Structure 1
Amino acid sequence: MTVHFPFQNSYSALPDSFFARVAPTPVAAPRLIKLNRPLAAQLGLDPDLLETPEGAAILAGKTVPEGADPIAMAYAGHQFGHFVPQLGDGRAILLGEVIDRDGIRRDIQLKGSGPTPFSRRGDGRAALGPVLREYIVSEAMYALGIPTTRSLAAVVTGEHVIRESALPGAVLTRVASSHIRVGTFQFFAARRDTEAIRRLADHVIARHYPELREVERPYHALLAGVVARQAELVARWLLVGFIHGVMNTDNSSVSGETIDYGPCAFMDAYNPAQVFSSIDEMGRYAYANQPRIALWNLTRLAECLLPLFGSEQEKAVAEAQDILGAFSEIFSATYQAGLRKKIGLFSVRDGDEALIQDLLDAMAKNQADFTLTFRKLGEAASADATDVRAQFVEPAAFDEWAGRWRARIALEPQSAAERQAAMHAVNPMFIPRNHRVEAVIQAAVNNDDYAPFEELVQVLAKPFEDQPEYTAYADPPLPDQRVLQTFCGT
């Protein structure tokens, strides 16, 4: 049988200025590393056929499946605050779109599939390490319940790419609600192409916000919808200690999904100023800066949409500012609600925010592990606090706070067991710890050994379960295992 993709493409039906038609560059000897079989089935694809040599050839870009309409999408973007009027998919090609089993339209894109007109002298390829990192982290985010692009497959190409050294080449098949970014709007705004902005906005509304098609002011409502989704998304990042690492406007999705896992990382010890990205020398995208940067990016989107708000510039600006003003409230409401759940509160009382902030301050001063502190706090709700105290350099700092916390939870009727269950449902035991991800990458790159990768993916698929046989995966790194920098892979 032939591998069949039930493509129903819509983005490639937009004007030619939105993309460049380009086929993937064939590779020498594609070999499937990993297929996400449940996701394949959700997309209406046959996992067994995708695991054949024919399937591997498609997932590596060596063969273009019937019905595909391969394109590289055009976009611009602010990179570390500096505007670049043309970026685009320099190493990614959108094969097409399918309607999944829930009736949701999904992009299927090959990342690392060769040069495009937007490659800017790059080779358009991906090294194995970044492909494995994106597969691991994007699927971990999905398991954590955070909106994200997903990974359908990873394939080695049988060729090498040259970075600092020769590295095994690979291709990631990425799945998204769409790959439309703030930078996509900026591409047309930079060219003063208002009609293209309108076409793009209409496409985004139809695809991501169909409930807005009949409202009186759809473009105002579109901005409000993107603001709300981004505010909620970034709040959820912070609640699991995630640092995107490169929140440029071209990495900001209008669908509200996390996109582009380059130099991303999860914190070990809690530190609001934590930066891992090797290219973020000024800490622009540090952990605690992410809400501010998200609002900055959304302001750039608002600027693009202003021509659609009306001909009166001053009025349009005021309306956009009013919409953007909702960001802080939505973010704060999502973040504070999430923090209350993390410490086991079922109701809202005066003083809760201060109680939570005091815990975070104590964690920062005592280098407490972000993930394990909250996980072990759940156990302290029904048992002794030995494990959570051990996360603090000075356990007395926790004891002082814990007395106030116990007095607070005593005001609620839930049992200790109910509280622990609720806390464990939002506080993961397992995250993609940097040292574990790096160890997996090294085993694959140096020894062609994918067993550690398979095991890590398996553990991270159940982040809220104890999994006693894999307890070591929850451990923070030893001093000599700490990963201090992550890299974008280009």
Structure 2
Amino acid sequence: MKTLSTLTFANSYSDLPTSLGTQVAAQPLDNPFLIHFNPLVAEKLELASTTALDPSFINIFSGNTTLAGLSPLAMKYCGHQFGQYNPDLGDGRGLLLGEVLTSNGKKWDLHLKGSGKTPYSRMGDGRAVLRSSVREYLASAAMEGLGIATTHALAIIGSQTPVIREKIETAATLIRVAESHIRFGHFEYLFYTGQHDELQQLADYVIEHHFPALLTEAAPYAAMFKQICQRTATMIAAWQAVGFAHGVMNTDNMSILGLTFDYGPFGFIDDYEPSYICNHSDYSGRYAFDQQPAIALWNLSALGYALTPLLDKTEIDHGLEHYQTELQQQYSHNMRQKLGLTIADDTDTVLFSDLFQLLKQHHVDYTLFFRTLSYIAMDELPYSEHLFTSLFSCTSRLKTWLIGYQQRLLLEPNTSQRLTIMLQHNPKYILRNYLAQQAIEEAEQGDFQLIEQLITILAHPFDEHKDAEVLAQLPPNWGKHLEISCSS
């Protein structure tokens, strides 16, 4: 394990055309202090956990000092926001500090979110508040624990720097770690501004650094687009299966690596409602939970259009068709795992749709239903409806579904591992909005214990954690109706 001073840094993104970013120094925070440090993320960087005890760590990542080898840069990109193209986007409150090269050959971006004004801040102050920083910190850890592709967060640093949002809050910085920060919007920016040579350079960079196996392909750009479609399909299928709503699926929030990216007004479904809208600023429901698969396709279409200097229509259409096929297959696979099914059957679609109708009709907690089902042996299913009385107002139709589910299990070649499979794919713990809100409120009072507890639990959400049962219970009624916006 290394210290900050012994890490190997690179700045390969800075070698791209200068129009893709601007060198900017972070603006210092007042009286910075460490709120939390995630040792699991530190391991990815081969960074010793004791680094968090070094005062220089806080000073570097609060903008008060610099570290040799880093070359902070605000990235320029554009994107479609709620379906409308916006050319005036970019890192308005964050900096790509540089890249850490590890001994296994991986490259990790270090990104400082909340670092102050950049040329792309528009009318903003370039700051991130403690509230949004805690949400992203916890969310990225939760998604990693669930096995869903995501960016990571190494640490949160608080301060006494005041910022004005709906009220006066305090500024914080979040150290985001990702294999790449390149978004769909990077390609859109170069396309719409007519920088087609630079667009090809960016595509070459992405292939070289992130998809090197495609270098030998006869049509590497088409293969790159197909790979992005593949990864996006895998990500969206995982979101839908676990009940995660992103809230702001603009193209500038879409990762070319299929990473869950830019956590804002996200939410995990409590009571099952397919049209769940987690962002109260989304008045039309464009980014509702059940719209995410279609929106991802829309975004990929926008990316495909931006790549037309490199791809023909047939190659773009092939990539989009691949997304739809992969999404359907992966989602069906994920849902079968949630029910402990190992083979596909023609009746599965009806089994799933009947269940979803039941969950919606009775406003059933999505996570608790599947977790409860994961404890019930096959021969007990027709007689187990009493185990769901805390979730269903009436269990008569549930009993019918449970009998049908048992009949479907009879088609399986082997059901001995059913409960094991289900317990590995139905989490007991998710980051419910009310838990994140409680962690925020306690952090604002200087108490970071709940953050520590949640980080520990969410790293292993499929385990029992007998000492944390309260975190797996039904949310209080007030916790189901929190309004979350894009405000940072």
What TM-score bracket applies, with the shorter chain setting the length?
A: over 0.9
* Letter of the structure 2 residue corresponding to residue 306 of structure 1: T
Question: Any conservation in 2 of the 1:380–1:388 contact (CA below 8 Å)?
Answer: no
- Give the 5 Å matches for 1:14-29: 14-29=16-31
1:472 maps to amino acid: V
Q: State the Cα RMSD in Å.
A: 1.4
The answer as to whether partners of 2:277 and 2:288 remain within 8 angstroms in 1 is: yes
1:2, CA displacement in angstroms?
6.8
- SS of the residue corresponding to residue 340 of structure 1 reads helix
Q: Which one-letter code corresponds to 2:369 in the other structure?
A: T
Give 1:43's aligned residue.
45
| Contact 1:182 1:301 (C-alpha < 8 Å) held by counterparts | yes
AA aligned opposite 1:356: F
Quick one: distance in 1 between partners of 2:373 and 2:81? 39
Distance 1:305 1:2, change over 3 A: closer
- 8 A Cα contact 2:368 2:428, kept in partner: yes
Quote the Cα distance in structure 2 between the aligned partners of 1:86 and 1:5: 35
Aligned-partner residue type, residue 465 of structure 1: D
2: CA distance between counterparts of 1:306 and 1:146?
30
Give the deviation of 1:343 after TM superposition.
0.9
Instruction: Encode CA deviations 1:167-190: one digit per residue, 9 max, x unaligned.
Output: 121100000111100000011111
Residue 411 of structure 1 deviates from its aligned partner by 2.7
Letter in structure 1 aligned against 2:419: Q
CA distance in 2, matches of 1:454, 1:20: 36
Following the alignment from structure 1 to structure 2, what is the Cα–Cα distance between the partners of residues 132 and 149? 14
Q: Which amino acid aligns with 1:396?
A: S
Q: Aligned letter for 1:435?
A: Y
Give 1:87 shift. 0.3
Instruction: Tell me which of 465, 468, 480 is aligned to 1:467.
Output: 465
- What is the distance in 1 between the residues matched to 2:61 and 2:385? 49
Q: Indicate if the aligned counterparts of 1:126 and 1:171 stay in contact, CA closer than 8 A.
A: yes
Q: Is the 8 A contact 1:234 1:291 kept in 2?
A: yes
Normalised by the size of structure 1, how large is the TM-score? 0.96
**2:335 paired residue among 308, 333, 339:** 339
Cross-structure match for 2:184: 182
The 1-side partners of 2:115 and 2:39 are apart by 21
Name the residue aligned to 1:327: 323
Equivalent residue, structure 2, for 1:391: 391
Query: CA-to-partner distance for each residue in 1:421-463, whole Å, 9 max, x for gaps?
Result: 1100000000001111111111111x21111221122211110
Rate the CA distance shift 1:101–1:405 in 2: closer, same or farther, 3 A. farther
Equivalent of 1:60 in 62, 82, 88: 62
Question: Aligned partners of 2:334, 2:410: CA distance in 1, in Å?
Answer: 20
Deviation of residue 46 (structure 1)?
3.0
- Amino-acid identity (%): 39
How much does 1:413 deviate? Answer: 4.2
What does the per-residue CA deviation read over 1:337-390, in whole Å, with 9 as the maximum and x for residues that have no partner? 111111111111221111111111111111111111111111123554533353
Residue 312 of structure 1 is matched in structure 2 by none
1:289-343 C-alpha deviation (Å, 9 max, x unpaired)? 001000000001111111112xxxxxx2233122211211110000001111111
Matching of residue 374 in structure 1 with residue 373 in structure 2: no
| In 2: Cα distance, 1:319 partner to 1:185 partner | 17
Match of 1:260 in 2: 262
1:126 and 1:489 in contact (8 A); partners too: no
CA–CA distance in 2 between the matches of 1:71 and 1:209? 23
Give the number of aligned pairs: 482
Residues 163-178 of structure 1 correspond to what in structure 2 (within 5 A)? 163-178=165-180
**1:439 maps to 2:471:** no
- The equivalent of 1:423 in structure 2 is 422
Is structure 2 residue 449 aligned with structure 1 residue 451? yes
**Structure 1 residue 217: Cα displacement:** 0.7
Offset from partner CA, 1:52-109 (integer Å, 9 cap, x none): 2111111222212110010000000100011011300000001100123432111000
Q: Which amino acid aligns with 1:401?
A: W
1:242-299 Cα shifts (integer Å, max 9, x gaps):
0000000000000111100000010001111000102111100000100100000000
Q: Is the 8 A contact 2:434 2:482 kept in 1?
A: no
Compute the displacement of 1:25 (Å).
Answer: 0.5
In 2, Cα distance between equivalents of 1:296 and 1:368: 30
For the Cα contact (< 8 Å) 2:78–2:86, is it kept in 1?
A: yes
TM-score w.r.t. length of structure 2: 0.96
Provide the C-alpha distance between the structure 1 equivalents of 2:279 and 2:209, rounded to a whole number of angstroms.
33
Q: Deviations over 1:97-140 (max 9, x none)?
A: 01234321110000001000000021000110100000001111
Q: Secondary structure, in 3 states, of the residue corresponding to 2:310?
A: helix
- Are 1:354 and 2:353 an aligned pair? no
Give distance in 2, aligned partners of 1:62 and 1:259: 27
| Aligned partners of 2:270 and 2:480 also within 8 Å | no
Structure 2 portions without partners, runs of 5+:
none
Distance 2:419 2:465 in 1: 17
Gaps of 5+ in 1: 310-315
Tell me whether 1:108 sits opposite 2:110 in the alignment.
Answer: yes
Contact persistence 2:409–2:415 (CA under 8 A): no
What letter matches 1:38 in structure 2? Answer: L
**Deviation for aligned residue 1:158:** 2.4
C-alpha contact 1:110 1:172 (8 A) present in aligned 2: yes
- The residue aligned with 1:313 is none
- Deviation of 1:415 (Å): 4.2
* Residue number among 471, 484, 487 corresponding to 1:486 in the alignment: 484
Aligned with 2:411: secondary structure?
coil
Give the conservation status (yes or no) of the 8 Å contact 1:28–1:157: yes
1:470 & 1:11 partners in 2: Cα distance? Answer: 43
In 1: Cα distance, 2:180 partner to 2:473 partner? 35
The CA distance in 2 between the partners of 1:27 and 1:75, in whole Å, is: 26
What is the deviation of 1:214?
A: 1.4
Q: 1:284 aligns with which of 279, 283, 286?
A: 286
Which amino acid in the other structure matches residue 366 of structure 2? F
Q: 2:149 aligns with which of 126, 136, 147?
A: 147
